[in-house]
Amino acid sequence: MTTPHELDPNGWIKNYSDYLFNYTIVRVDDREIAKDLVQETFFAGLRSMKNFKGEASERTWLISILKRKIIDYYRKINSNKGKAEVRMNYNADSESEGDWLEERVADPYATNAETEIENSELGLAIQDCLAKLPEKQATIFKMKTIDNYDTETICNEFNITSSNLWVIIHRARTAMASCMEENWF
């Protein structure tokens, strides 16, 4: 029998905030709302810690809370939207008669559900791989690659030389590439 998982809220923000944020942002597409939902999830997690049975990992448990928060958010915006009437006016005036077919042709540049799902899974796969890196490596790699900080800023922040930085980046990239190869390609 496996040992039950335990909760350690002190490490939540450090360990899971990026993962939860990434999970949320692909679903709500708004940074501020995503941030609020992640915050609410952590708070709700704290409040319901006594309900945690230890069957799932901390992250899975937090994700299940977050999912409920996202659904609540969808409900809220949908109830607002429901008040507005949606009307599709095809052939409203005689001049544009016949144009409706063109309007209905699928827009190849619009993102569809499949690409959205693929993107969200990709984001989570990357977060998974990032979580496997040593903490400092992961932070520096994220700053350089995702947040696009320049070399000098990162060097000053961590008090390292630029050759140190490039060694760290090299190790992180090698680890990330092989991890993504296993999990994604």
CA distance readout (Å), 60 to 5, 19, 50, 71, 130:
11, 11, 16, 17, 17
CA distance readout (Å), 163 to 84, 159, 170, 172:
58, 12, 10, 14
Q: Could you count the other beta carbons within 10 Å of the beta carbon of residue 75?
A: 10
Residue from the set 28, 33, 155, 180 that interacts with another protein by CB under 8 A? 180
What residues between 31 and 60 interact with another protein by CB under 8 A?
Answer: 31, 35, 38-39, 42-43, 46-47, 49
Residue from the set 70, 126, 133, 154 that interacts with another protein by CB under 8 A? 126
Q: Which is nearer to another protein, 104 or 185 (CB)?
A: 185
Q: How far apart are CA 180 and CA 185, in angstroms?
A: 7
Q: What crossing angle do the helices spanning 162-183 and 113-132 adopt, rounded to 10°? A: 130
Question: Which segment (65-73, 83-91, 95-103, 172-180) binds another protein by CB under 8 A?
Answer: 172-180
Q: Is residue 21 part of the contact set for another protein (CB under 8 A)?
A: yes
Q: Which is nearer to another protein, 14 or 75 (CB)?
A: 14
- Contact residues toward another protein (CB under 8 A) are 9-10, 12-14, 17-18, 21-22, 25-26, 31, 35, 38-39, 42-43, 46-47, 49, 119-120, 122-123, 126-127, 142, 144-147, 151, 166, 169-170, 173, 176-178, 180-181, 184-185
